[in-house]
Chain A
């Protein structure tokens, strides 16, 4: 559990970009996984199961935010990883380009490049066909490339 908490939090944080919401989602995800009779016991399967629940919760979060929420999410540059990145002089243009990705594209990019998962594993976690994940990642890379080009940031920045 200790080994999964932080990775799950990072995954949720990448999706919703709000640490409080991400924390709630991860706790809720663990609670659901624990309460469900169908939760796999195998650690690898459990991780897939947990990430899938977090993905669904993040989708519900966006749905709720769009449809009914009376709460306005903090505007950047509040606790936004993008802004945090800017403050820390990391790859701010890449961080800004991430904003243009859809939630599904962020999920795929995160699992593929941040957790170094294979296409097959990414597809299994997200519950989508492998071929679709390849398409999503390819398209997301194209969007990132286009954004970076528009920002005049084609060249790699010092990290």
Chain B
């Protein structure tokens, strides 16, 4: 077929596309209501004078807290980034040492303004990072911004177990950027962003800016590099120095790495969409053919939104999905820091009846250098085709299959598989605190589904033998599951947007936290 013919055919198809999009009578009115409501006060960027005034306030506040003149001079000479927020400033130590890594000094005005008051975590569209590191200290990204008076996706820190949160958004971070975050511990975190570009000059490379903190977001440093046409989709660090970034690039993904904490980045590898079975040796498969007429051929694709995890500075894994008559689990391993990849040998591949099907794998999550788990779940596909207008019309239904967990206790050399309770539901995945103890929110098929295969949360399960056996937790509080974050056998959180719950008895009872932003 000539290109011109296809273009003509596309335009004729486009002419009829309007008829294919359902019409909602109230839609325009609802959209209009967004514009007719009074605008929120515009948060103008601080001027230089304003920044100076804020800096003076910071200095005075610190002075009022009893710091000496010499210490004030020392603070003003430090390269750390300071916050104009009074509560944040009060937590600064006057003897703060210069950041251990190089980078420009920033005037720390949070990149987003978050109104003081109640906050919700989660979003209908954004996977919300939420990580508690100790019973008191943790990180989150929010609020979801469902209301137009709220800002979106600020970086937040808590020091009281999740009840109160401080806006720690690095300067330059915007809710409407492509961005990803990684929280290593209570002090180290990274935020990678691509500026929101409205008028993109032709052939201008994308600028990736990586913010990093090593003092719990009391200060941020930044480093930028340029790459042709990319946006960050995942960060992963194994220590304060060694990290990786997954980027969506033109026609594929690229993996970058740093060995100096995020200042300098180099490409470790890249993979592009290819025809099935055309993957170069050492590269990650990225098939471009998941069409309905190709269900009986094997096609595998790296998950471009969150596929990689590393155990140490050299060994890591990449995960994705495969489809076909008997698809394997997409799990690849690298021993050279992400340069080359090979299939991870597994003692058993997932046994998925009823294929052709999709098999989804998640990247391993390590609780020690030896212990890790990843999950594999499946969808069974049922495709029916029939002749229509001289062609073939196909429709496909996906029904949830099984969910399994793979566990290693030798650093990833061997993996044992166990069945997870319930049906596969794309997560949330099991969360472990060590080699033996973990929790999992199972799913079941909905009794009255709105579409075939709809699932809903069923029960909270716990394992004490590394995932081989799961028993339901006798919960005394009705709750709807969510993303679980446990840090000890008793203390954990459940994020089920918009609710944030905490347990101190291993999941038997849950209390709502009603988190608020304090500034």
Min CB distance B8 to A, Å, is 8
Q: Judging by beta carbons under 8 Å apart, are B151 and A35 in contact? A: yes
How far apart are the CA atoms of A22 and B31 in the complex, in Å?
A: 13
Binding site for B on A (CB under 8 A): 1-2, 5-6, 9-10, 13-14, 19, 22-28, 30-32, 34-37, 40, 45, 48-49, 52-53, 56-57, 59-72, 74-86, 88-97, 99-100, 102, 104, 109, 113-114, 116, 120, 123-124, 126-132, 135-136, 139, 141, 143-145, 147-154, 156-159
How far apart are the CA atoms of A117 and B483 in the complex, in Å?
A: 41
Of all A-B residue pairs in the complex, the 10 with the closest CB atoms, nearest first, are: A31-B148, A100-B291, A74-B451, A127-B197, A130-B202, A60-B125, A114-B14, A63-B305, A77-B395, A113-B10
**B residues in contact with A83, CB < 8 Å:** 395
**A residues in contact with B306, CB < 8 Å:** 63, 66-67
In the complex, what residue of chain B is closest to A135 when comparing beta carbons?
B250
A to B contact number (C-beta, < 8 Å):
280
In the complex, what residue of chain A is closest to B306 when comparing beta carbons?
A67
Chain B facing A: main interface SS: loop
Q: Judging by beta carbons under 8 Å apart, are A157 and B178 in contact? A: no
Tell whether B476 is near chain A: CB-to-CB under 8 Å: no
Q: Judging by beta carbons under 8 Å apart, are A27 and B291 in contact? A: no
Taking A13-B21, A31-B148, A64-B123 as known contacts, 12 extra A-B pairs with beta carbons closer than 8 A to each other, sorted by chain A number, are: A31-B145, A56-B178, A66-B306, A67-B305, A67-B427, A70-B427, A71-B454, A72-B453, A100-B290, A129-B204, A135-B250, A135-B251
**A residues in contact with B479, CB < 8 Å:** none
Q: Judging by beta carbons under 8 Å apart, are A57 and B125 in contact? A: yes
Once A34-B34, A35-B149 are accepted as A-B contacts, the answer to whether A129 and B20 lie under 8 Å apart by CB is no
**B residues in contact with A24, CB < 8 Å:** 124-125
Once A25-B125, A28-B125, A64-B126 are accepted as A-B contacts, the answer to whether A9 and B21 lie under 8 Å apart by CB is yes
In the complex, what residue of chain B is closest to A48 when comparing beta carbons?
B198
How far apart are the CA atoms of A136 and B249 in the complex, in Å?
A: 11
**A residues in contact with B17, CB < 8 Å:** 10, 14, 81, 114
Min CB distance B108 to A, Å, is 19
Which of B54-62, B72-80, B343-351, B396-404 is the contact stretch? B396-404
How far apart are the CA atoms of A100 and B233 in the complex, in Å?
A: 22
In the complex, what residue of chain A is closest to B289 when comparing beta carbons?
A100
Min CB distance A38 to B, Å, is 8
Which of B36-44, B158-166, B329-337 is the contact stretch? B36-44
**B residues in contact with A85, CB < 8 Å:** 20
Residues in B291-312 with C-beta less than 8 Å from chain A: 291-294, 303, 305-306
**B residues in contact with A25, CB < 8 Å:** 125
Q: Judging by beta carbons under 8 Å apart, are A94 and B13 in contact? A: yes
Min CB distance A143 to B, Å, is 7
In the complex, what residue of chain A is closest to B202 when comparing beta carbons?
A130
Tell whether B16 is near chain A: CB-to-CB under 8 Å: yes
Min CB distance A152 to B, Å, is 7
Tell whether B152 is near chain A: CB-to-CB under 8 Å: yes
Q: Judging by beta carbons under 8 Å apart, are A52 and B196 in contact? A: yes
Tell whether B426 is near chain A: CB-to-CB under 8 Å: yes
Which of B97-105, B383-391, B431-439 is the contact stretch? B383-391
Min CB distance B24 to A, Å, is 6
Min CB distance B399 to A, Å, is 8
Partner of A149, one of B1, B27, B251, B290: B1
In the complex, what residue of chain B is closest to A137 when comparing beta carbons?
B7
Partner of B292, one of A96, A130, A149: A96
